[in-house]
Structure 1
């Protein structure tokens, strides 16, 4: 199949903007709990729709009092927290355009985005962020205001707008139309300088209303309960932003967590107890690997691995039944599954808060076997695919017929087309307006309403999309063999000891790889074998460790022909990090930068 169209469920909005939902919901149901806010003492406090409206209104008045005007662009540089959502909706209330900035951005990255977007004001989280902007402020003549959250910026702005009449705010809000620009989100810059994606209120409203209409049943852990989600994705990324807007428009109780580290995230999952959440594959890998390490420490590796096999087989059989290609799990398999649900699966679910039965995954590809395991363990993960340019999800697996290992079908109202060269093209009301101040890049991306994604993929007979790689990341060996590195890298990363994998081989005689290690997994591996902790340089030369990584490489090579296989690899002593310029803020590999930084190691792979 070369093209698949899914009929729309939600119509494109004709009036209004994103902030209207805050005021409408408060009017209709003022005591409904819409957000959870974590206090300094670690306890969660409920926020009603009326309380949130009042906070948004007060902040909007303060922004107007401090000179923010309709159409102004205002930057937010902050981790995922309650105040980001508050500022987003206050700025949208007065018709301003939000420019999100990753809190880890360098001074030059910050300068480029604020300069390119002609930002007039900025909100930052703390002094370090303020100093980052301060170091380039002399080159930002349009920047008039800088507010700092930990210096009580919300209270300060509330005081500033206290005497302003509410109607002034509402006049601004009523002037916002679906075609008004809501946000300019800068791409991660894996292949060059970040580009500002211009997204309108209509883009987001169509996207989230479609997701709510199609996937609303999966927001609940059981019929009739209150839907809630804990957002821990960065709000500077379009995926996290979509979750935020969908929660507010869909009346899903929303909590915020600023850290992806297990030590901070897992306690908040246990306390907040969401009914579903949205994440990247990395999170699901961490949950699985932590569960397996715990079983190994307790001497229960055998039973755990058996439980994994049963979960995978059970979910595989259920998938086959859904597609009419099998009868479903056998009686014996059902009995085994029921036993392990009490012994293993319930404990895995408990680490995610205990109530989660559904989750959504995006940002990168998820291994089919991992998806089957979670489904068999009672948490169905709906994998999807999208870009900043498509306002997040363009495809996703439907609730009733999930095909694991794919990114699903086009979301309702979207068409997916596979071009002659294998590139994925998208069309729908969620596709962006273009790149800010960059008509050349806009013309290259948009073709008569079609978005050329730069990703390679294939549609199966039912319209399910599988992403196979990136056009710009295809390697061509000196023998003329084209190799897509993504599937090889993902399979090597399936090994619990592996943190990252970069496949190389462009203009070289064969394919090779650089591999980094997961520190937590390595510590566990050493402890289970009574090995002392060596220096990083000695660790990467450990023959037992090399054997483990070789197994991961051999497993990856089963996916491709011999000419495309990884012939050799090098284990590195340190991970690729954003701080060293080797990862984007969304944790994607910067291939050219890594190959330059490790030029000697790459050269050693080709003696």
Structure 2
């Protein structure tokens, strides 16, 4: 297999009439077969070739997750060009940087709003000959054309046959928590390796249904796109975050991948709702949760579950957990979590409910997929063993090093950074980790994000942040601080979707500024922090905290597009609050 387009061609030949993609329409959900996908991609590819796309060229996609993103991506690749991904939340300046740095000559934009963003920086885009708009109108000057108008003549199969496995397929700019974005060069073979590795695991089949909402601009979303083509799994696509819960109930998928923030939000919503109802429902829920977690922990230890506990768990399942599974359509076999660390508390809760989360790990630089827990041997707190063909080493300082076919070609136009990241042929991940006796990887923290207190003690902030979020259903984000300070502190933001109904029921103020200082809210957050502090070494306990009126967001620059905290941005924006913890 030489390329992603040839992989698609083989899929069409194998199962032409099987469902490929399902997507929202005016009448609910519409569907495309693999044969129809092939026809759409062929027409778009010949049209893009007519606009100048071809070998050695780059085409940027500035669009949210929808079926047209995948069709456009496959069409770009079929011309022999590489796709450059841009998050739709990126500013005009950020978009212009990616377009110019990548050398893109065509941009595919979602709508007139995104076109307007490009128009505002058009003078900075002299090499862009055309903008192709998905939902929008063509321009009088010919710079903007519509996706629907693309068509052309030519030998599609000859274009596909000319693509080599080492040709560039994708340029993904790492959002990063620090520094200027770098363009990660991933070849067709990088992606084909990951899809082959996942296929070998035997996790998925054509009888599955995948629900995709993840940003396709992110490497995790792109990996899922290629894997589903390889195995022939149909995918229901809708990138609207506010529709995830509704879509799960309507689509009834068998699996879904997500960032930990989604699982945290589901968990917190469920817990807060039950707390608000109180009474017998709360007592039953708490009992069911405790019973389920006892079972989960026994299984994790490899211990037998007593008959009485199994009976209790069956009752708990009927009263509580089955209802939760029904909210997700009732067919979920497992979830997959990646892009950031998953709290063990969250993992245990979902597993108790019969909704196992398989945590995995990878970087954009390793084509997103390097490690994954297997359903039959899930170990919470680890990201599982490596995928078949991926090699791993732990350096003397604890840094995780990865080797294999999934490793990037390099950073675009940055030879020194490439040499540093790929020293001696191993990808230096920047993560600290260890391998257990079964070869499963445990990530303990980011190498550059470990806190070293003024007393010389190291603290892993992301571990504490995940524990606190799991303990407090009203928390949206937690930022643990304390590098070169004499103790550890925290900033907490509120999830207003969860907090507002609770505040209303309790007669608390609805204004976030008033709410954050209210004794009841501070008591709830403080209780969660005390709970986490109870089993930490003294130097790792959070001594003081503040609740912020506004959440961290991608738009304010405090989160990356994959919802990871940009630590320096938070420190800069909230420096006065952080400094106040240490005054006097």
TM-score above 0.5:
yes
Given the alignment of the two structures, is residue 352 of structure 1 paired with residue 352 of structure 2, yes or no?
A: no
> Which residue does 1:584 correspond to in 2?
560
> Which residue does 1:271 correspond to in 2?
250
Query: 1:287, CA displacement in angstroms?
Result: 2.1
> Secondary structure at 1:441's aligned position in 2?
helix
CA 447–288 in structure 1, closer or farther in 2 if over 3 Å, else same: same
| Aligned with residue 236 of structure 2, among 227, 238, 255 | 255
Query: 1:475, CA displacement in angstroms?
Result: 2.3
> Which residue does 1:232 correspond to in 2?
213
CA distance in 2, matches of 1:471, 1:211: 28
Which structure is higher in RCO with an 8 Å CA cutoff and minimum separation 6?
Answer: 1
Taking only aligned residues, the RMSD between alpha carbons, in angstroms, comes to: 1.8
Query: 1:496, CA displacement in angstroms?
Result: 0.8
> Secondary structure at 2:400's aligned position in 1?
strand
> Which residue does 1:3 correspond to in 2?
none
CA 578–184 in structure 1, closer or farther in 2 if over 3 Å, else same: same
Alpha carbons 2:5, 2:77 under 8 Å: kept: yes
CA distance in 2, matches of 1:81, 1:559: 44
> Which residue does 1:8 correspond to in 2?
none
Query: 1:298, CA displacement in angstroms?
Result: 4.1
Alpha carbons 2:115, 2:133 under 8 Å: kept: yes
Query: 1:563, CA displacement in angstroms?
Result: 1.8
Superposition pairs for residues 184-203 of structure 1, below 5 Å?
184-203=171-190
Provide Cα deviations, 1:115-144, integer angstroms capped at 9, x if missing partner.
110110000111221121222221122111
Provide Cα deviations, 1:434-462, integer angstroms capped at 9, x if missing partner.
10001111111101220000011121222
| Aligned with residue 213 of structure 1, among 189, 196, 200 | 200
Provide Cα deviations, 1:98-126, integer angstroms capped at 9, x if missing partner.
00100000122111111110110000111
Given the alignment of the two structures, is residue 27 of structure 1 paired with residue 3 of structure 2, yes or no?
A: no
> Secondary structure at 1:420's aligned position in 2?
coil
CA distance in 1, matches of 2:198, 2:127: 38
Alpha carbons 1:311, 1:374 under 8 Å: kept: no
> Which residue does 1:180 correspond to in 2?
167
> Which residue does 1:70 correspond to in 2?
55
Given the alignment of the two structures, is residue 489 of structure 1 paired with residue 465 of structure 2, yes or no?
A: yes
Q: Work out the number of aligned pairs and report it.
A: 575
| Aligned with residue 424 of structure 1, among 400, 406, 430 | 400
CA distance in 2, matches of 1:242, 1:31: 23
Given the alignment of the two structures, is residue 319 of structure 1 paired with residue 300 of structure 2, yes or no?
A: yes
CA distance in 1, matches of 2:137, 2:250: 26
> Which residue does 2:141 correspond to in 1?
none
Provide Cα deviations, 1:486-518, integer angstroms capped at 9, x if missing partner.
111111221111111112222322221111111
CA distance in 2, matches of 1:580, 1:287: 24
CA distance in 1, matches of 2:541, 2:301: 31
Superposition pairs for residues 448-487 of structure 1, below 5 Å?
448-487=424-463
> Secondary structure at 1:37's aligned position in 2?
strand
Alpha carbons 1:62, 1:158 under 8 Å: kept: no
CA 411–351 in structure 1, closer or farther in 2 if over 3 Å, else same: same
CA 47–601 in structure 1, closer or farther in 2 if over 3 Å, else same: same
CA 81–523 in structure 1, closer or farther in 2 if over 3 Å, else same: same
Query: 1:29, CA displacement in angstroms?
Result: 2.5
Provide Cα deviations, 1:331-374, integer angstroms capped at 9, x if missing partner.
11211122222221111111112111211111111122321222
> Secondary structure at 2:325's aligned position in 1?
helix
Superposition pairs for residues 171-570 of structure 1, below 5 Å?
171-214=158-201, 216-217=202-203, 219=204, 226-261=207-242, 264-299=243-278, 300-321=281-302, 326-327=303-304, 329-494=305-470, 495-528=472-505, 530-570=506-546
Query: 1:189, CA displacement in angstroms?
Result: 2.7
CA distance in 1, matches of 2:23, 2:245: 17
CA 369–598 in structure 1, closer or farther in 2 if over 3 Å, else same: closer
Provide Cα deviations, 1:371-392, integer angstroms capped at 9, x if missing partner.
1222222222111111100101
CA distance in 1, matches of 2:536, 2:464: 8
Query: Unaligned 5+ residue runs, structure 2?
Result: 139-143
Query: Unaligned 5+ residue runs, structure 1?
Result: 1-14
> Secondary structure at 1:76's aligned position in 2?
strand
CA distance in 2, matches of 1:149, 1:559: 53
TM-score calculated relative to the size of structure 2: 0.95
CA distance in 2, matches of 1:450, 1:285: 33
CA 480–319 in structure 1, closer or farther in 2 if over 3 Å, else same: closer
Alpha carbons 1:511, 1:567 under 8 Å: kept: yes
TM-score calculated relative to the size of structure 1: 0.91
